[in-house]
Amino acid sequence: MFRRLPGDQARDLVTTTPDTAVVFRPAVVTTPAIFTLIIFAARVVAGLIRTTWRHPIAMLAAVAPGALTLLYGWQTALLLTAPTSVGLAAWALTDRGSFVRLIGRRLQAWWRLVWIYRRHWQPVMIVSGLGRNLRGRDYLPRLGKVTCTPWADLVTVRMLKGQAVKDWADRVDHLAQGFGATSCRVALAKAGRLSLTFPRHDPLAIPIPARPMPHAATVDAIEVGKCEGGQPWLLKVHGTHVLVAGATGAGKGSILWSAIRGLLPAVAEGLAELWALDPKLMELSYGRALFGSRYAATPEECADLLDQAVNIMQKRAARFACLQRSHTPTVEDPFVLVVVDEVAFLTAYQTDRQLRQRISAALATLTTQGRAVGVSVLAALQDPRKEVMNIRNLFPDKIALRLDESEQVDMVLGDGARDRGALADHISPVPELGAGVGYVRLETSPEPIRVRAAYVSDQDIRAMADAFGRAA
């Protein structure tokens, strides 16, 4: 039963039947205008203070001419500011690197903060679902500092209460398109704060030539390419195991040969040994002279070579027991790197079941017990599915090159890696653009790092074999 109420009561009171509850509209408290003006003025002052603190040079450059004009006149202002402008111009012309680093990047960050991020912040947050509009009021994550690197914008954000990193990771495409970037990566800076990376261009678009060999023998981190930030990509092979996954033509050979290239001085001095398993007979056989008798191609030979590596590992473990917990390379106990070009051929595609189980057992033994005694595995494969490579979780460090499916990214790098920006399935299949490009996830850090491996050409491999073949 409905009954009509006169005037404003009909808008504020709703009844349906005598048995239902009466729903009242919430009371609206009108804020006095003076309070609104005080809050607005406080926000303006806080914004000016915050902008001055974050961008002192930009604010000084913008305010100083006007202040000098008001205080002393335009002639004095021109006389005082002209030398500064001339000095900055001379600095930019004579030492562009330091000028860009100290002045240019700060001005660029301020401009992109104002023109790109702050201008589009509200609509991007609301449309993407990261902000909320409740009763006419917008609740938005707080935009923080913007830092410009030579290739990307780093944006800090304070999340809304109750938000999680996954809420942002699920919307990286919205963020990238909203702010005009090709991609976006999300990383947790600290509790409640995120760091968003928006690339402006791709610093890894150009192929990288083979890295110079180390002058001194080393088995520590080996330079195998370049990271997205411009620093050398140092691959650790001693004291860990590395799994490289990528489709055909993704550049797995670039990583294998770059690691081999970096270890050759140590091999020449007897501090390291290279053991090669090459069931495809197409990749490692090109530099077979580097491996000597420690080269295997047929499944039977590969199984025998792995059994030898397990035997050495067990003998060292027996000698090291109660004496040392980590391995230091010596001539008597050199570091052993077992390189497997296509491990899935041995663990999944091999028709001989007993041989397949024998190889899988040997690899599992090496990856669970070998790194403490100086026996490591560097394995490459194309298909990262569990039924193909059931020991992939035994590799602490993983590298994902170009993959065919988005689900394969998390198979290789772990759950959530793709949501945090490891878009290995988006890498270009064109060799000049995407070969050797990938994402690295280390045991010590869950955040994927974008890298590109150096290309070791056939001529480089021949030169390596000629120079170090006898030493191997």
Sorted by where each begins, the domain ranges of the chain are: 35-94, 109-201, 222-468
Residue 17 has pLDDT above 80, yes or no: no
Q: What is the pLDDT of residue 15?
A: 44
The SS3 of residue 419 is: coil
312 neighbors 327 (Cβ within 8 angstroms): no
Q: What is the mean pLDDT of residues 344-355?
A: 86
Q: What pLDDT score does 29 carry?
A: 64
Q: Is the dihedral of CA 125, 190, 240, 197 positive or negative?
A: positive
The CATH class that applies to domain 222-468 reads alpha beta
Determine the Cα–Cα distance for residues 114 and 108; give it in Å rounded to an integer. 10
HSE-CB at 139 with a 13 A cutoff on CA atoms is 11
Cα–Cα dist 94/92, whole Å? 6
129 alpha-carbon distance from chain centroid: 25
**Which pLDDT score is estimated for 26?**
55
Mean pLDDT value of segment 434-460: 92
342 closest CA partner among 304, 307, 296:
296
Which whole number is the average pLDDT over 419-436?
89
Name the least confident of 16-25, 149-158, 415-424: 16-25
Cα–Cα distance for residue pair 259/274, rounded to 1 Å: 10
Mean of the pLDDT values across residues 429-451? Answer: 90
- Going by their DSSP bridges, the two strands 437-441 and 272-277 should be labelled as unpaired
Is the separation of the CB atoms in 455 and 436 below 8 Å? yes
Name the residue with higher pLDDT: 349 or 115.
115
Q: Report the DSSP pairing between strands 272-277 and 295-296.
A: parallel
Question: What is the model's pLDDT at position 33?
Answer: 81
Residue 10 has which token pair?
């009909």
Whether domain 109-201 has CATH 3.30.980.40: yes
- The predicted model gives 17-22 an average pLDDT of 50
Is residue 466 pLDDT above 50, yes or no?
A: yes
The pLDDT of residue 12 is 47
Q: Which of 61-70, 77-86, 158-167 holds the top average pLDDT?
A: 158-167
How confident is the model at residue 137, as a pLDDT?
81
Q: For the chain, how are helix, strand and coil distributed in percent, rounded to 5?
A: 45, 20, 35
Q: How many CB atoms lie within 10 A of CB 180?
A: 10
Instruction: Map 178-220 to HEC letters.
Output: HCCCCCCEEEEEECCEEEEEEECCCCCCCCCECCCCCCCCCCC
Q: What backbone phi and psi angles, to 5 degrees, belong to 334?
A: -70, 160
Query: How far apart (Å, rounded) are the C-alpha atoms in residues 126 and 133?
Result: 7
Percentage of residues of the chain with pLDDT beyond 70: 92
Which of 1-15, 59-73, 300-314 tops mean pLDDT? 300-314
Which residue matches tokens 């002209």? 82
Dist. CA 348–CA 342, nearest whole Å: 11
Residue type, 155: V
Tell me, what's the pLDDT at 107?
87
pLDDT of residue 13: 44
Higher-pLDDT residue of 87 and 222 is: 222
* pLDDT tens figures, 263-322: 999 999 999 999 999 998 888 988 999 999 999 999 999 999 999 999 999 999 999 888
195 touches 144 (CB < 8 A): no
What pLDDT does 351 receive? Answer: 75
Residue 395 DSSP one-character state: -
Q: How confident is the model at residue 2 (pLDDT cuts 50, 70, 90)?
A: very low
The one-character DSSP state at 288 is G
- pLDDT score, position 67: 79
Which residue has better confidence, 202 or 85? 202
pLDDT band per the 50, 70, 90 thresholds, residue 104: confident
Mean pLDDT of the chain: 87
- H/E stretch holding 98 reads helix 96-99
Secondary structure of residue 73 in the 3-state scheme: coil
* Cα–Cα distance for residue pair 468/272, rounded to 1 Å: 13
pLDDT in tens, 129-184: 999 888 778 889 999 999 999 999 999 999 999 999 889 988 989 999 999 998 89
Confidence at residue 408, expressed as pLDDT on a 0 to 100 scale: 93
Three-state DSSP class for residue 55: coil
Among 18-22, 53-57, 123-127, which is the least confidently predicted range?
Answer: 18-22
Q: What is the pLDDT of residue 1?
A: 43
372, two tokens: 């403490």
User: Which pair of structure tokens corresponds to residue 349?
Assistant: 């595609």
* Average pLDDT rounded to a whole number, residues 212-231: 91
Percent of the chain with pLDDT over 90: 55
C-beta of residue 310 within 8 angstroms of C-beta of residue 368:
no
Asked if 400 contacts 442 with a C-beta cutoff of 8 angstroms, the reply is no
Question: What pLDDT does 6 receive?
Answer: 52
pLDDT of residue 70: 79
Q: Looking at residue 359, what is its pLDDT?
A: 94
Q: Is 18 a residue whose pLDDT tops 70?
A: no
Position 22 pLDDT exceeds 60: no
pLDDT given for residue 341 in this prediction: 92
The angle subtended at Cα 191 by Cα 184 and Cα 227, nearest 5°, is: 40
